[in-house]
């Protein structure tokens, strides 16, 4: 019998319930009988906490300076008014500070904070009955209906009396005066004063919360510095940054090339391994075995008699040279990222000093890497589960610590998906506790669920399948997934357009316009994008039928002439400038795909969190021929009324077009342009 | 450097790792450094467990006899083959029994069980490296490539030796023979034998699992008897089941009417409260105050000098009469459901015996129900949070126990959303432990999140917003939500077409065809549906502008003539028969909505879990006039090829139509029919 038997909102409670009692924790229902000692269990439930990853098993990920919105459903039977708060504990803090949440309807409560420091934050949630507001609302309704309310004053008096000792000065005087008026004055006026600020807000803060419930756990949020979520990477082999393909450049020589990279607007210069390279089974030019004399070998075959993961290849110079190089880069606004490739050449010092860290055959020999039926004789994988694993793990953490002590703050991690999950948990956790500004990029080209799990465990950002998503619908589907929950809470996609291992077929096949459009897509689809050097010179020569570069730089020294005519440096430079100048391409911006008549085009808008900066990108994603199409501009996402007239400026060319309403026309002829990046200037 | 440095699948491990070690628990990452004692932490992670509600805080809900599918993602870096199991602990069992899961691709593993008894089940999940299969796969690849494998035998030999003591008879002989052959025989043949059943399966069962990981918690599944998920309810005031509107029927008289209800195919007869009714502030005919002498009062004003929640209204008879009535109903296949309305009339014995259980005004008087500015003077709500709450809660549980002892197994709970959550948790939990076949229906017409939370806490089934969903698109949207996760895991929608409180406007306005179509919708949209008596006689007279019946049965005794011409008993009877005869309308069946050209029609298909029974329902949901339309039959859902010719039989009329392909024609003239319920007979 639904409507009529509903009891009153907040009937008078016994004063005993005002006394502070241990708050209840939200959690699984208790179906066993509770004892009658103390007050009854609280009746409020908390649900649907956000942000949260796997119910709090892993931290949500945010950036310094970003607004972190916290929200929760607060449920209580009946019609009482509620209040709620979150308590935030910053990195290394023992206690937390409480902030009120605000009700946003449909039982949802929200609040936010803006972290100023990187580190691991934790929040808890609490909710309780706002007994004072409930009382004011109820008694006001009775009075409005002309009812006698002298029997309904008690709860309000009781709460005011409880709050009084917390107040001082003017606030206390006002509270005392309201109390007196309630006890014998103009009730209508007294109740109105009782519900007015600042008294109302003070009571909100200080009133007893006998039925308070706390969330069953602390929810973690890992905050990283902005560069973990917004950066343009440039990958270059330092040995190639010299004047000649005949010998390795030194760091001192490579330093001369830093201004060119900085001038293109990149933020991070990522160096493949800079350590001594093994001689045993060294791979020669074009991955031929054996290597010819003078072949420099692959930088990923780490370790020789000259040292291992904490040494610098003598051809590059000394630690001091590296330090000089790093400092010069930083002067130019470029951070250096090093490669963490936890594997060894047969000549690595660890092989001699710690043979127990490797896999063994029954005859005692060390196993090289193998992927039946292939064998990689120049690489010994580390056995992360060997009986002396503790020493190994500690040593690997020490490698990170060593380079961090040298001033390196960014690491690109080679093949994390072939090492144990707990190792990364521990290593990244420890490293970020010591250096909260460390950033780790996971190169986990593996099954999607493993890729995601590594992100959950601590990697700041992750390579993606971008290079293999070429058609408009593939790109749309993939980025909708990346930008939606649950991924958007913990997975930061890094879009490299190429890598030393991946020369995508679309670049091989379509050449220049493909290089152009893939750079535009990467730079505008994610706040994190990257280029492996050579891209700007349209290097597209592959071993046929593969994604491998022909005569790959992995096995030789390459000399590139920065003055090559027609190179893409101007485009890359412009893209990086556009990214810096438009919040719509920075962390927190939203994405939406809009309809285009021609399925060979991809259309999406990017919008800044404050809704003030909107870009429309329309790309001929497989630029084989000219495409003309009408596109359907998503006016509502741009905050434009139906039929609006507005200007769009192509940030790639500075051309300005006058558009009207939804349907507009584009023409993308690869000989002239492969995409529009249009800023809406309403 | 992605592809080439990937280490081998399963390199030889030290034998130490074969020893049993305490399994790791899945859970939040540990970022503190682990000690080096014992083997390294396991490298497997479990994710995305199903079925699960709020990460296991609340049980998923299933029915006896239903296949419960359990699944989980099992993740491990690298290429090793894995194995996984679930361990099921039945109601009241201390230990569990383990069953293997099977890999279904994309890191997903699945298994299932069919519960035979109602109660609370728990499952855990485990996963480990299938070292034996990994070894067989690796060594076979090497042998196929013509490589020498004598150095690769060790892991297999080691595992076989470890398993040997578990084997006996023929199995042991075979294992010993394979071992001998591996140590010095035809290796190709020996490896093939090592990988053949039954040896392979035995090794699977008995091989050591040194890296086993267990789920971090037990996941609960509450299993209820089938009637909790599949039932047709009929609601009737027993006092009206007599021969005269002048006086209350007795249970003995009402018994005479049971065959009529049973003949309509209903499973449950739900009786509004059968307890003594208060005299103080009793409400008269049509909710008038005060009542006239002889007015019977509302059954929800429970309690008088003749007793309270454990008493029977003297006008209905005695406990023995009720018992006789219940037994007779059960003979006819009808279960009795009682109403749990935890509130009191001012004359209830508890008011005198336990005034502390009620709300009080400062002057000591007991507060009646109020919802400012309305007051309900005939009802005293119970104060579930009063200082003596333990006694109150115990007494209310005792009420349930009392009626359960009388043989009642189904309760319809009045207004659960005005009582504390923890009360329901405890009460239902305790009651179902004592009587696992108890069923509780929640009448929580309140905000959706509260409604859902009550279902999570234990209610078997819930009233819904069905009566207020009338347009085709409203119904589609609502039922897509109810049938999708997370709701489908714990929320069982009960669709009453009317209640004593709700006479939907659509029935008032459109009359007979609306009564027809709303019954057809309710009976085919959910396995749980219900009718409040009077519906079959097209009673549609409301207080204007409200959903209240005019001269409501809540306040009087109604006499209905079952022989009224044109009544809907034949339709209700047929609907209940169709539901019994078609698995597509029973628990576990799926639903899908298909396009119809005319937006005033609603088209959906229901399909049985085994895919053998398919119904197409096409309804003129607001049957004001004739609608003709083409409909798009979802051939793929029916397992029919494009362009197929098939027959559809209207189960309401037994007409048969020959249809072809997707596009087919329907005509729904309310004068003749308001809906098709078509069985596909391919």
- Judge whether residue B411 has pLDDT over 80: yes
% of chain A beyond a pLDDT of 70: 94
Between chains, do B373 and A4 touch, taking CB under 8 Å as contact?
no
Token pair listed for B629: 């339309």
Token pair listed for B147: 């490589």
A45-130+210-223 and A225-341+389-582 have identical folds? no
Active site residues of A: 414, 443
Cβ atoms of A98 and A86 within 8 Å: the answer is yes
- Judge whether residue B8 has pLDDT over 60: no
Count CB-CB contacts under 10 A for residue B554: 22
pLDDT the model gives residue A29: 54
% of chain B beyond a pLDDT of 90: 86
Cβ atoms of A237 and A139 within 8 Å: the answer is no
pLDDT the model gives residue A6: 39
- Which chain A residue is nearest to residue B29, measuring alpha carbons? A425
**Bridge-based pairing state of the strands B219-224 and B213-214:** unpaired
Chain-centre distance of CA A563, in angstroms?
Answer: 37
Residue B157 parent element (H or E): helix B154-163
Give B590-681's CATH code, choosing from 1.10.3720.10, 3.40.50.1110, 2.60.40.1180, 2.40.10.10: 2.60.40.1180
The active-site residue out of B130, B171, B235, B443 is B443
pLDDT the model gives residue A607: 98
* Residue B210 DSSP one-character state: T
Q: Which residues of B touch A3 (CB under 8 A)?
A: 445, 501
Q: Which residues of A touch B393 (CB under 8 A)?
A: 40
pLDDT the model gives residue B221: 98
Nearest by CB to A16, which of B17, B387, B445? B387
pLDDT the model gives residue A4: 37
Chain-centre distance of CA B515, in angstroms?
Answer: 27
pLDDT category, B23, cuts 50, 70, 90?
Answer: low
Across residues B227-247, what is the average pLDDT?
A: 95
- Judge whether residue B231 has pLDDT over 70: yes
Average pLDDT, chain B: 93
- Judge whether residue A523 has pLDDT over 80: yes
CA atoms within 13 A on the CB side of A255: 17
| Distance between CA atoms of residues B347 and B280, nearest Å | 7
Q: Calculate how close chain B gets to A394, using CA atoms only, in Å.
A: 9
- Judge whether residue B22 has pLDDT over 70: no
Between chains, do A390 and B35 touch, taking CB under 8 Å as contact?
yes
- Judge whether residue A204 has pLDDT over 90: yes
- Judge whether residue B34 has pLDDT over 80: no
| pTM (2 d.p.) | 0.91
Q: Calculate how close chain B gets to A404, using CA atoms only, in Å.
A: 18
pLDDT category, A25, cuts 50, 70, 90?
Answer: low
What single string gives the DSSP state of each residue in A136-196? HHHHHHHHHTT---GGG-HHHHHHHHHHGGG--HHHHHHHHHHHHHHHHS-HHHHHHHHTS
For domain A132-206, give the fold.
Methane Monooxygenase Hydroxylase; Chain G, domain 1 (1.20.58)
Residues 6+ apart with CB under 8 A from B57: A27, A28, A29, B456
Mind listing the pLDDT tens digit for each residue in B128-171?
A: 999 999 999 999 988 988 888 888 899 999 999 999 999 999 99
- Judge whether residue A488 has pLDDT over 90: yes
pLDDT the model gives residue B594: 97
Q: Closest Cα to residue B5, out of A491, A283, A234, A396?
A: A283
Mind listing the pLDDT tens digit for each residue in B514-549?
A: 999 999 999 999 999 999 999 999 999 999 999 999
Residue A643 three-state SS? coil
Residue A342 three-state SS? coil
Between chains, do A387 and B300 touch, taking CB under 8 Å as contact?
no
Cβ atoms of A115 and A73 within 8 Å: the answer is no
Q: Calculate how close chain A gets to B606, using CA atoms only, in Å.
A: 30
Q: Calculate how close chain B gets to A425, using CA atoms only, in Å.
A: 5
In chain A, where the domains are located: 45-130+210-223, 132-206, 225-341+389-582, 590-681
- Judge whether residue B12 has pLDDT over 70: no
Across residues A641-655, what is the average pLDDT?
A: 97
Question: Number of residue pairs across A and B with CB atoms under 8 Å?
Answer: 329
Between chains, do B5 and A363 touch, taking CB under 8 Å as contact?
no
What single string gives the DSSP state of each residue in A189-256? HHHHHHTSTTHHHHHHHHS--TT-EE-SSPEEEEEE-GGGTSEEEEE--GGGSSS-SSSPPPHHHHGG
Mind listing the pLDDT tens digit for each residue in B324-360?
A: 999 999 999 999 999 999 999 999 999 999 999 999 9
Give A45-130+210-223's CATH code, choosing from 3.30.429.10, 2.60.40.10, 3.10.20.30, 2.40.50.320: 2.60.40.10
| Distance between CA atoms of residues A645 and B142, nearest Å | 68
Cβ atoms of A98 and A206 within 8 Å: the answer is no
Q: Which residues of A touch B75 (CB under 8 A)?
A: 421, 449-450, 453
Between chains, do A371 and B9 touch, taking CB under 8 Å as contact?
yes
Between chains, do B106 and A443 touch, taking CB under 8 Å as contact?
no
| Distance between CA atoms of residues A597 and A407, nearest Å | 51
Residue B545 three-state SS? coil
| Distance between CA atoms of residues A82 and A133, nearest Å | 8
Across residues B434-451, what is the average pLDDT?
A: 96
- Judge whether residue B48 has pLDDT over 80: yes
Architecture of domain A225-341+389-582: Alpha-Beta Barrel (3.20)
- Which chain A residue is nearest to residue B371, measuring alpha carbons? A8
Between chains, do A5 and B359 touch, taking CB under 8 Å as contact?
no
To test the contact with chain B by mutation, choose from A78, A385, A433 the residue with the greatest count of B C-beta atoms within 10 A, namely A385
Mind listing the pLDDT tens digit for each residue in A466-475?
A: 999 999 999 9
Q: Calculate how close chain A gets to B247, using CA atoms only, in Å.
A: 22
State the complex-level ipTM.
0.88
| Distance between CA atoms of residues B562 and A160, nearest Å | 62
Across residues A146-155, what is the average pLDDT?
A: 86
Q: Which residues of A touch B32 (CB under 8 A)?
A: 426, 429-430
Q: Which residues of B touch A449 (CB under 8 A)?
A: 47, 73, 75, 106-107
């Amino acid at each position: 019998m639904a409507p009529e038997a509903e009891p009153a909102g907040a009937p008078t409670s016994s004063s005993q319930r005002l006394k502070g009692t241990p708050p209840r924790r939200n959690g699984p229902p208790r179906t066993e009988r509770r004892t009658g000692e103390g007050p009854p269990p609280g009746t409020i439930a908390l649900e649907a906490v956000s942000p949260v990853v796997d119910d709090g098993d892993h931290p949500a990920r945010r950036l310094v300076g970003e607004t972190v919105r916290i929200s929760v459903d607060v449920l209580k039977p009946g019609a009482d008014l509620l209040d709620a708060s979150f308590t935030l504990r910053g990195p290394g803090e023992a206690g937390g500070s409480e902030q009120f949440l605000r009700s946003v309807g449909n039982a949802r409560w929200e609040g936010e904070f803006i972290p100023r420091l990187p580190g691991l934050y934790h929040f808890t949630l609490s909710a309780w009955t706002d007994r004072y507001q409930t009382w004011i609302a109820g008694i006001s309704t009775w009075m409005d209906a002309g009812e006698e309310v002298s029997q309904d004053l008690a709860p309000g008096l009781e709460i005011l009396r409880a709050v009084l000792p917390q107040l001082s000065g003017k606030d206390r005087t006002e509270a005392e005066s309201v109390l007196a008026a309630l006890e014998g004055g103009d009730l209508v006026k007294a109740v109105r004063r009782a519900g007015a600020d600042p008294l109302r807000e003070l009571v909100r803060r200080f009133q007893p919360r006998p039925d308070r419930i706390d969330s069953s756990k602390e929810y973690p949020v890992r905050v990283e510095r902005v560069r973990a979520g917004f950066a343009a990477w440039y990958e270059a082999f330092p040995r190639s940054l010299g004047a000649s393909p005949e010998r390795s450049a030194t760091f001192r020589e490579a330093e001369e090339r830093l201004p060119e990279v900085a001038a293109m607007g990149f933020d991070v210069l990522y160096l493949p391994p800079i350590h001594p390279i093994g001689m045993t089974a060294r791979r020669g030019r074009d991955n031929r075995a054996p290597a010819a004399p003078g072949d420099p070998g692959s930088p990923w075959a780490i370790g020789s008699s000259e040292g291992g993961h904490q040494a610098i290849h003598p051809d590059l110079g000394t630690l001091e040279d590296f330090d000089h190089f790093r400092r010069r880069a930083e002067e130019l606004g470029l951070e250096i990222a090093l490669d963490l490739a936890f594997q060894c050449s047969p000549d690595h010092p660890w092989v001699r000093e710690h043979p127990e860290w490797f896999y063994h055959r029954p005859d005692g020999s060390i196993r090289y890497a193998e992927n039946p039926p292939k064998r990689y004789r120049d690489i010994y994988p580390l056995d992360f589960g060997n009986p002396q694993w503790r020493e190994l793990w500690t040593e690997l953490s020490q490698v990170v610590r060593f380079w961090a002590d040298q001033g390196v703050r960014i690491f690109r991690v080679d093949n994390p998906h072939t090492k144990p999950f707990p190792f990364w948990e521990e290593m990244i956790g420890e490293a970020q506790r010591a250096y909260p500004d460390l950033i780790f990029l996971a190169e986990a080209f593996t099954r999607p669920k493993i890729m995601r799990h590594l992100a959950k465990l601590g990697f700041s950002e992750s390579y993606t399948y971008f290079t293999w998503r070429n058609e408009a619908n593939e790109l749309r589907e993939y980025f909708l997934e990346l930008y939606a929950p649950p991924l958007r809470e913990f997975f930061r996609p890094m879009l490299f357009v190429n890598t030393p291992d991946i020369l995508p077929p679309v670049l091989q096949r379509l050449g220049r316009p493909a290089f152009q459009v893939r750079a535009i897509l990467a730079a505008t689809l994610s706040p994190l994008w990257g280029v492996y050097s050579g891209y700007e010179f349209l290097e597209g020569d592959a071993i046929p039928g593969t994604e491998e570069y022909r005569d790959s730089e992995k096995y030789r020294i390459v000399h590139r002439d920065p003055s090559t005519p027609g190179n893409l440096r101007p485009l890359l430079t412009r893209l990086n400038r556009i990214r810096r100048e438009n919040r719509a391409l920075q962390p927190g911006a939203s994405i939406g795909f809009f309809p285009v008549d021609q399925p060979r085009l991809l259309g999406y808008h990017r919008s800044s969190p404050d809704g003030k900066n909107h870009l429309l990108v329309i790309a001929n994603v497989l630029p084989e021929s000219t495409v003309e199409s009408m596109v359907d501009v998503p006016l509502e996402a741009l905050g434009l009324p139906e039929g609006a007239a507005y200007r769009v400026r192509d940030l790639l060319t500075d051309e300005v077009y006058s558009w009207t309403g939804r349907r507009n026309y584009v023409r993308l002829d690869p000989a002239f342009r492969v995409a529009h990046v249009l800023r809406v200037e309403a």
